[in-house]
Structure 1
């Protein structure tokens, strides 16, 4: 694990310390977790998208039947 120095303005540093305390963790761990989350989020989104797209199209109606009207769908 590497040590990194980060400079923050007073207001941001105060907010970060409070958020870390709310989570019962150190400021260092809190910032590391935020960065790790930002690093892995695009990968998780990509996996979810690929999973969804691999399922193929979903049929919304029985073949040979017409789609319901707008009023039927909304029960007006």
Structure 2
């Protein structure tokens, strides 16, 4: 484990102290858990995005598609 120094606004530090107390943990552990969750979320998002961008089509086109009119002919009156 690494020790780090974090600078934050007084109001953020107060919230962190209260939240840590509510969870019965330290501010240090609270911040570490929040960062670990953010890291897991970002990793999952990046992995999903990469998979989506690598998606290959199920089929191969056999040339030009038909015109709409050829696919859906209208009855002549």
- Give the TM-score of the pair, scaled to structure 1: 0.57
Count of aligned pairs between the two proteins: 55
Q: CA RMSD in A?
A: 2.4
Alignment match, 2:19: 19
Structure 2 segments unaligned to the other structure (5+ residues): 52-77
| Larger Rg over CA atoms | 2
Which structure exhibits the higher relative contact order, with contacts defined as CA atoms closer than 8 Å and separated by 6 or more residues?
A: 2
Structure 1 segments unaligned to the other structure (5+ residues): 51-76
Take 1:43 and 1:21, find their aligned partners in 2: how far apart are those partners? 29
- Give the TM-score of the pair, scaled to structure 2: 0.56
